Amino acid sequence: MEVVIVPDSAAGGELIAEAMANLLRRKPDALLGVATGSTPLPIYEAFAAKVRAAAVDASQARICQLDEYVGLPSGHPESYRSVVLREVVEPLGLSESSFIGPDGTADDIAAACEEYDQALVAAGGVDLQLLGIGTDGHIGFNEPCSSLASRTRIKTLTQQTRKDNARFFDSIDDVPHHVITQGIGTILEARHLVLLATGEAKADAVALAVEGPLSALVPASALQLHPHATVVVDEAAASQLKLADYFRATFAAKPEWQGI
């Protein structure tokens, strides 16, 4: 696992956007797995700026979703489908046909989960999957004690996650209890995992995920199993890392051509 400590979220966004651009330069129709929440927004801004400046051609890029609320009406502005279309797909000038995601409105949620796992495989697998981390260590919506081998399935949110996400809704009562999430096993099949974490509130979860034991209690620790996982953190989110100086020295000594 590579850990990159950046001065702030804008620098993290730029670093990751450049990695996405490099991927598209090599593979124009790469499948980019995107995450929702506040943390990845600087990535999407930096990436869209590169596209507008013609530094990269994203016209053949494909976008897929990490997780989704269950039970929000179709087209609800906070459904993750709506969020991804608004924050990622439209700013890149892509159409909805470039996008795949699980159906949180399906009558048969179990079938919708299975179909989504199959759709990811049929699309050739995810080339680069962006991840955030919950204050409880979740990735996607894989809450603590999720199986490290899990596939896309329905999960119940912890009360902490519902509190964390209440800011997107009128009240916490409006935050759904149930979600569909790519499983940890599904996430680990992506070719490159890139987790961005910013702010003090994420520092404990980051330290446990990066330096703690592999444990279902900290789902993000599953990144330790992946051959190409990059964790990008600002100084605040890095503040509990014991090996911070080593991570800084390693990145500073890295040849620029190598990327992340």
Q: Which residues are catalytic?
A: 67, 136, 138, 143
CB 62 within 8 A of CB 25: no
102 or 134: whose CB is closer to ligand PGA?
Answer: 134
Nearer to ligand PGA, 13 or 132 (CB): 132
Structure tokens at 78: 């906070």
Please, which of residues 134-193 interact with ligand PGA by CB under 6 A?
Answer: 134
* Residue span binding ligand PGA (CB under 6 A) among the ranges 8-16, 106-114, 130-138, 172-180: 130-138
The distance of closest approach from Cβ of residue 160 to ligand PGA in the complex, given in angstroms and rounded to an integer, is 10
Helix and strand numbers (H, E) in the chain are 8, 10
Q: Decide: is 132 part of the binding site for ligand PGA (CB under 6 A).
A: yes
Beta strand pairing call for 128-131 and 192-197: parallel
Q: In this complex, which beta carbon is closest to ligand PGA, that of residue 167 or of residue 242?
A: 167
| Of 199, 197, 193, residue with least CA distance to 222 | 193
* Distance from C-alpha of 139 to C-alpha of 56, rounded to nearest angstrom: 28
Across-strand partners of 128?
32, 192
Which residues have C-beta within 8 Å of that of residue 22, sequence separation ≥ 6?
A: 259
Number of residues that bind ligand PGA (CB under 6 A): 6
Instruction: Encode 4-49 in three state secondary structure.
Output: EEECCHHHHHHHHHHHHHHHHHHCCCCEEEECCCCCCHHHHHHHHH
Which is nearer to ligand PGA, 56 or 88 (by Cβ)? 88
CB of 216 to ligand PGA, least distance (A): 17
- State both tokens at 17: 């956007």
Least CB distance from residue 210 to ligand PGA, whole Å? 15
Question: The tokens 């930096």 sit on which residue?
Answer: 46
**Nearest residue to ligand PGA, scored by beta-carbon proximity:** 37
Cα–Cα distance measured from residue 162 to residue 173, given in angstroms and rounded to the nearest whole number? 9
Q: Is the separation of the CB atoms in 20 and 55 below 8 Å? A: no
Residue span binding ligand PGA (CB under 6 A) among the ranges 57-65, 121-129, 132-140, 225-233? 132-140
Smallest gap from Cβ 137 to ligand PGA, in A, equals 10
Q: How far is the CB of 55 from ligand PGA (least distance, A)?
A: 25
Q: Compute the distance between CA of residue 18 and CA of residue 144 in angstroms, rounded to an integer.
A: 31
Q: Which of 51, 133, 194, 241 binds ligand PGA (CB under 6 A)?
A: 133
Within 30-59, the residues that bind ligand PGA by CB under 6 A are 37-39
What minimum distance in Å lies between the beta carbon of 37 and ligand PGA? 3
87 vs 98 by CB, closer to ligand PGA: 87
- By the rule CB under 6 A, 95 interacts with ligand PGA: no
Q: Which is nearer to ligand PGA, 51 or 133 (CB)?
A: 133
Answer for the pair 164, 134: CB distance below 8 angstroms, yes or no. Answer: yes
What's the rounded Cα separation, in Å, for the pair 15 and 19? Answer: 6
List residues near ligand PGA by CB under 6 A. 37-39, 132-134
